[in-house]
């Protein structure tokens, strides 16, 4: 008598390992390093796992991008909303930097460019990145409504803060920021400057940014 064999469920641990291995190879060696057999070997699994979890190499590359933003959103979701929205915004900035430092291989691929040469991202893929900006824009809105920032377009301010943080983080990961202008010193100054540029006073911005450092270790802790 024959019995039906229950198919195995896809192991999420294998999926995450494949993403991390592929992201590392992509960052270190470029798209040419993305060979199914090599990724599977370094992930200590079978080549079939790449197809089981992602449908092939293009699907794996897209999931690198999606996973990078998913982890960033996971960190953002831990930021608490308080009566000091400028401090809240500072915690978001620290979460952005911490996520990039903790997942540097994923971060290098999240925004496409030369790192993904040969693997075209769709508008849907890019929407994963835009989605995480919504929480920043919401926080900026509270800063405006609370009188800390001057009346302006919250989305534009959020975008300004995004590309300012992104540029600083890129220089940080590239090892370009050294003493006396090290990454941490530049980051603290950048946070204050962004808040003041949006309309906050220097004194209030400095105090809120200092509070955000204490909160980040507790709320996000990466």
Q: Specify the CATH number for the domain of residue 203.
A: 1.10.357.10
Determine the pLDDT at residue 46.
Answer: 93
pTM over 0.75: yes
Domain extent at residue 97: 63-219
CB atoms within 10 A of CB 154: 20
Query: Is residue 206, in this structure, part of any structural domain at all?
Result: yes
Query: Is residue 211, in this structure, part of any structural domain at all?
Result: yes
Number of domains in the chain: 1
In the numeric block, the tokens 């220089």 are attached to 171
Determine the pLDDT at residue 157.
Answer: 96
Query: Is residue 20, in this structure, part of any structural domain at all?
Result: no
Determine the pLDDT at residue 123.
Answer: 82
Determine the pLDDT at residue 2.
Answer: 40
Query: Is residue 10, in this structure, part of any structural domain at all?
Result: no
Query: Is residue 16, in this structure, part of any structural domain at all?
Result: no
Its sign, for the CA torsion 45, 109, 157, 189, is positive
Determine the pLDDT at residue 11.
Answer: 67
Determine the pLDDT at residue 137.
Answer: 95
Question: How high is the mean pLDDT in each 10-residue block of the chain (222 residues)?
Answer: 44 88 90 92 94 92 90 94 98 96 88 67 79 92 98 96 94 93 96 98 98 96 80
In the numeric block, the tokens 């409504």 are attached to 145
Query: Is residue 55, in this structure, part of any structural domain at all?
Result: no
Query: Is residue 30, in this structure, part of any structural domain at all?
Result: no
DSSP H helical segments within 43-153, as ranges? Answer: 47-54, 57-76, 85-102, 104-110, 123-145
Three-state DSSP state, 43: coil
């Amino acid at each position: 008598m024959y019995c039906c064999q229950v198919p195995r469920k896809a192991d999420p641990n294998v999926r995450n390992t494949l993403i991390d291995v592929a992201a590392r190879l992509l960052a270190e060696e470029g798209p040419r390093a993305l060979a199914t057999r090599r990724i599977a070997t370094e992930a200590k699994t079978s080549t079939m796992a790449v197809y089981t979890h992602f449908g092939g190499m293009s699907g794996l590359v897209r999931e690198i991008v999606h996973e990078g933003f998913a982890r960033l959103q996971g960190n953002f979701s831990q930021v608490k909303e308080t009566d000091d929205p400028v401090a809240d915004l500072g915690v978001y900035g620290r979460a952005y930097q911490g996520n990039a430092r903790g997942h540097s291989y994923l971060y290098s691929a999240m925004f496409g460019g030369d790192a993904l040469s040969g693997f075209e991202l769709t508008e849907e893929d890019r929407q994963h990145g835009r989605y995480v900006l919504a929480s920043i824009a919401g926080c900026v809105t509270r800063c405006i409504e609370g009188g800390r920032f001057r009346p302006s377009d919250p989305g534009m301010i959020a975008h300004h803060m995004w590309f300012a943080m992104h540029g600083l983080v890129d220089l940080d990961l590239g090892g370009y920021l050294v003493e006396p202008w090290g990454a941490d010193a530049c980051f603290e100054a950048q946070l204050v400057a962004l808040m003041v540029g949006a309309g906050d006073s220097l004194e209030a911005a400095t105090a809120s940014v200092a509070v955000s450092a204490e909160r980040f270790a507790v709320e996000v802790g990466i």
